[in-house]
Structure 1
Amino acid sequence: MSNSGDYEILYWDVAGGCKLLRNRFESKDREWATYTCVLGFHVMGVWLEGSDGTDINALCRSHSERAVAVADDFCKVHLFQYPCPKPKAPSHRYEGHGSHVTNVCFTHNDSHLISMGGKDTCILQWRVTGGGGAPPLDRSSSVSSNSVSSQEPGP
């Protein structure tokens, strides 16, 4: 599965020589080992009303398949319950970056989430509490951060 520049969800038959599958509805409920596509039937709810298609820069599903993290153009990291196929899905929003967030990734055991900033050049490490990968809608869950940043050498 991949996404195209014109906002299509594409499914591929890798075993058959990387052929594009024309009937995408046959594959829409397929389970994936990882999930990082910003467009997909299981993550339609991460898109805010009025989004232009470029507002979400990255997405990562937790290994437990209970949460999905989103990096956006507005300096925010969002956590959603997974799957979130319905529009306007509730989320937790976290601030910490000084510019757009370029990527997010859960660690192997879902105990932490790593987010990468754009112009702020920050890498933030968020500790996931409440059971490591617990659904973000659980009120007992919280996130803390540590940041590492480096300045580019001046001229």
Structure 2
Amino acid sequence: TIGDDVSGIWPKDVKKDHINCAHALSSTIVTGDDHGAVNLFKFPCPEPGTEHKSYYGHSDNVTNVRFLANERYLVSLGGDDCCIFVWKCISKTNTDDDD
């Protein structure tokens, strides 16, 4: 994933193969990396090293990430751990649990 709008997903001091996957939807882009992290960025994020939130669950590399169509959930696939995680997306401004 390369382009001016996503330059911020790349850490300043990390090899370019560190990020394995990315998916953008609305105003958010999510990445999966070699260290088992699922990283959320505001989109667009044109500045390298943009502030973001990291969430951990996988024991090793994350091979794919996708927002579901309703934007309320995110799916991440682990490589070596062979796990599928479903993450609930909670807005910073709306933390009500309205399932």
Name the TM-score, length of structure 2 as normaliser: 0.90
Q: Output the amino acid matched with 2:86.
A: Q
Give every structure 1 segment of 4 or more consecutive aligned residues whose post-TM-superposition deviation is greater than 4 Å.
Answer: none
**Which gives a bigger RCO, structure 1 or 2 (Cα 8 Å, sep 6+)?**
2
Distance 1:93 1:56 in 2: 13
Q: Which of 41, 44, 47 matches 1:86?
A: 47
Structure 2 residue 56 is the aligned partner of structure 1 residue 57? no
Distance 1:106 1:83 in 2: 16
Residues matched between the structures, number: 95
User: For residues 109 and 115 of structure 1, do their structure 2 counterparts lie closer, same or farther at Cα, with a shift above 3 Å needed?
Assistant: same
Structure 2 residue 25 is the aligned partner of structure 1 residue 67? no
Distance 1:87 1:139 in 2: 26
Q: Which residue of 2 aligns with 1:26?
A: none
What's the CA shift for 1:105?
Answer: 0.2
What are the Cα deviations for residues 109-151 of structure 1, in whole angstroms up to 9, with x where unaligned?
1110000000000000000012xxxxxxx3766xxxxxxxxxx
Unaligned runs of 5+ in 1: 1-37, 131-137, 142-155
User: For residues 139 and 49 of structure 1, do their structure 2 counterparts lie closer, same or farther at Cα, with a shift above 3 Å needed?
Assistant: farther
Q: Which has the larger radius of gyration?
A: 1
Name the TM-score, length of structure 1 as normaliser: 0.59
Identity %: 34
Q: Which of 109, 116, 119 matches 2:70?
A: 109
Distance 1:87 1:121 in 2: 31
Unaligned runs of 5+ in 2: none
Q: CA RMSD in A?
A: 1.3
Distance 1:61 1:94 in 2: 17
